[in-house]
Structure 1
Amino acid sequence: MLTLGMAVLGPQQSTLEVCKSDFMLARDLDLIISMHVGGNFLTPHGFSELKNENLLNKNTNVVHANNIPNEMLDLLVDSSCTFSITPEEELQMGFGNPLTKRLMERGGTFNFGSDIESAMAADMHNVIRFALQAVRHEFTLENYERNHSPPSSMSVTTRQAFEWLTIGAAKSFGIDDKVGSITPGKKADLIMFKKNKINFIPMHDPISSIVFHSNSNDVDTVIINGVILKRDGQLISKDLDTKLETLAASGHRIMHQFREIQVEKKEG
């Protein structure tokens, strides 16, 4: 299933005129419109202006936005905007705490991703562990400030984290009627794990085992809309070797061009 969307500069990196034009096009085409937010804004009151024009809605997706003020966050949540959080990358890049806790407190809709696959693994197993432990850490610090002691129970459960990756992700993109859970009538999107792997034994709680102990090597089978794409731990593709060669060539080309740019800068 492929859903068309728009990636735009948004209020942080474009003028109000450009913002309105982009958002009106997305509205007219009924597309998800997504933008990165962080740092100084070229159009500081851009989101307020877009809200006044009724251009913010459930199809508006904001990425990162770690340090936006509460007033702006409240405006976006109240407008039914969704948020994409990339916890490992945000912590590495010094963006600040991921938005998870602030969004949970406001009932916001969010999903998780990796970002910058050239710098870190695009592995959702790691992503969800980073997300869960980061938000637990925030709640723990808050409890220490209030009660001078660690919390008596986990602030966020493992099942909540598991649902962030499944039905929660589907809801954030408005496709929970099609995917996100094993339900009659939904598309057959399934991931099956090898439960006899050493990191799963003994398995007392399958959800906890997947969230805390799994990695991509534990995935035995992947089915997308009824089509098997991975079986017995192996990707199924007639031209997989060709695709891998193309990917490697692309990486070499990018690095070659980068080195040429660096040489030109030195000579200039």
Structure 2
Amino acid sequence: MKTLLSGGTVVSMDPAVGDHDRADVLIENGVIAEVAVHIHAPDAELIDARDRIVMPGFVDNHRHTWQTAFRGIGADWTFAQWATAMHGTVKAHYTPEDVYAATLLGRLEALHCGITTMLDWYHVAQDHAHEDAAIAALREAPARSVFCLGAGWATSRPVDDDIRRVRAELDGPGPVTMAFGLRGADDTGMDTLAREVRLADELGLRTSLHTGSDGTRRPVADLREHGLLRDTTTFVHGNGVSDEELRMLADAGSSLSVSPDVELKMGFGAPMTGRALAAGLRPTLSIDVVPSVGGDMFAAMRAAFAAQRGLDGSLRARDLVGFTTIDAAASCGLDARTGSITPGKEADIVLLRSDDVTIFPVTDPVGSLVSAGHPGLVDTVLVAGRVVKRDGALVGVDLPALRARLLASRDRIAAAAGVPLDGTWTPQM
């Protein structure tokens, strides 16, 4: 099976391929076969890419999709209020059906916004049925996903059996793979963290770990002292971590995921994007939680860009596109499969409307999509060569039915938890 993307403005994010004002991209059996100014492929399905920016699909390496039903409710919340609300109040009332509906709509939302790969950081831990519901939802979405199984919020319960069970379920190169969401030493102690890192090593799993510092703690140095830094770990947030510790992460080959909107709004501190880059890391960007922020990568890029430029004038627009494509793919261990428009990689590709009045005329494609891009530009999305969004609409998705399921889920959880849905809920810690 062949598909030809014809006549688009190609932003490849591969220096060997380069960018092209007008070029064709040939896809064969789901894999990028060729990028050239003109490709003759009369037997290929033709997708007219004129007036389109053709770029790699975005990669979001940290999102908690189980919270999708409560979108926007925490716009004014601090981090402590969010934790009280989502983990301390509503989480206990989630059924497997609630997890399924939230995860599926959250994953489809990301796909609709051009995010072809997403790491779902699962910490609504209840039992196996809840985990299986999340996995089933990710499998139903026609996208590339990483199920990052965590133990929950500040819980000390053993997770070895859960991790091994899900690892056996997701052992393979399919569209849904697995990662291990580690608990921090502050939550459960260094011995527990060390045991989990060893388990991840044994099972060949990449890991993700939320971290940060108030300026007195040295979480990264503590991990290095215990021999627990890995090139397979993505550290999430990292606000307040010292420059010395950022260099430790760079030396170890670790990754850093910055969630700029959440960090600025919830009081984490300035995003670490510029400091990480200066320390030798290639930072990545992620969404985190949609109760508090939007779910698209365009907004995350703008937030990170504006915050860092306001601090020191550093970063260029192309840096931001790299953070959300090839660098984020590398943080998930998927850069050999996705993250750039490179022959031999799977065709995870997004076509953005360059004739839309909100972005036209496009003089610098990279600068335009970073400074003015938004989900309304996402016209076509391909995952492994399969068209999953066409002419601005997801293909084969019954959104009205899914919306009804999610609304019923939200209303039931809120009623069980005794919380209002009229915008007046201010969680009390």
Alignment of 1:33 onto 2:192: no
Hey, which of these two has a bigger chunk of strand by percent? 2
What residue number does 1:24 align with? 198
* Separation (CA, whole Å) in 2 of partners of 1:67 and 1:131: 16
* Separation (CA, whole Å) in 2 of partners of 1:70 and 1:218: 37
Alignment of 1:10 onto 2:169: no
Residue deviations 1:112-166 (CA, integer Å, cap 9, x gap): 11112012211111000111111111214xxxxxxxxxxxxxx321122222212
Contact preservation (8 Å) 1:203, 1:209:
yes
What residue number does 2:235 align with? 62
Residue deviations 1:18-75 (CA, integer Å, cap 9, x gap): 111111111111112112113569xx66644543454321111111111123333332
* Separation (CA, whole Å) in 1 of partners of 2:363 and 2:246: 39
Task: Name the aligned partner's letter for residue 161 of structure 1.
Answer: L
Contact preservation (8 Å) 1:51, 1:79:
no
What residue number does 2:290 align with? 117
* Separation (CA, whole Å) in 1 of partners of 2:388 and 2:267: 36
Contact preservation (8 Å) 1:85, 1:110:
yes
What residue number does 1:212 align with? 371
Q: Which moved more, 1:173-182 or 1:235-244?
A: 235-244
Structure-1-length-normalised TM-score: 0.84
* Structure 1 position 251, deviation (Å): 2.0
What residue number does 1:249 align with? 408
What residue number does 1:234 align with? 393
Change (3 A) 1:168 1:138: same
4+ aligned runs moved over 6 Å, structure 1: none
What residue number does 2:262 align with? 89
* Separation (CA, whole Å) in 2 of partners of 1:124 and 1:251: 25
Task: Name the aligned partner's letter for residue 25 of structure 1.
Answer: L
Alignment of 1:172 onto 2:331: yes
Task: Name the aligned partner's letter for residue 358 of structure 2.
Answer: N
* Separation (CA, whole Å) in 1 of partners of 2:280 and 2:212: 21
* Separation (CA, whole Å) in 1 of partners of 2:282 and 2:409: 35
What residue number does 2:350 align with? 191
Alignment RMSD (CA, Å): 2.1
Residue deviations 1:226-258 (CA, integer Å, cap 9, x gap): 111110001112433322222222222332233
Change (3 A) 1:184 1:10: same
What residue number does 2:299 align with? 126
Task: Name the aligned partner's letter for residue 58 of structure 1.
Answer: D
Percent identity (aligned): 32
What residue number does 1:144 align with? none
Which of 236, 251, 257 in structure 2 is aligned with 1:78?
251
Q: Which moved more, 1:123-132 or 1:50-59?
A: 50-59
Task: Name the aligned partner's letter for residue 37 of structure 1.
Answer: T
Task: Name the aligned partner's letter for residue 55 of structure 1.
Answer: L
DSSP-derived class of the 1:220 partner: strand
DSSP-derived class of the 2:358 partner: helix
Structure 1 unpaired stretches of 5+: 141-154, 262-268
Change (3 A) 1:45 1:169: closer
* Separation (CA, whole Å) in 2 of partners of 1:13 and 1:76: 21
Task: Name the aligned partner's letter for residue 243 of structure 2.
Answer: N
* Separation (CA, whole Å) in 2 of partners of 1:64 and 1:170: 17
* Separation (CA, whole Å) in 1 of partners of 2:205 and 2:267: 31
State the aligned residue count: 245
Task: Name the aligned partner's letter for residue 10 of structure 1.
Answer: G
* Structure 1 position 201, deviation (Å): 1.5
* Separation (CA, whole Å) in 2 of partners of 1:129 and 1:163: 13
Change (3 A) 1:204 1:20: same
* Separation (CA, whole Å) in 1 of partners of 2:363 and 2:220: 47
Hey, which of these two has a bigger chunk of helix by percent? 1
DSSP-derived class of the 1:109 partner: coil
Task: Name the aligned partner's letter for residue 27 of structure 1.
Answer: D
Change (3 A) 1:161 1:49: closer
Change (3 A) 1:104 1:238: closer
Structure-2-length-normalised TM-score: 0.54
* Separation (CA, whole Å) in 1 of partners of 2:209 and 2:271: 16
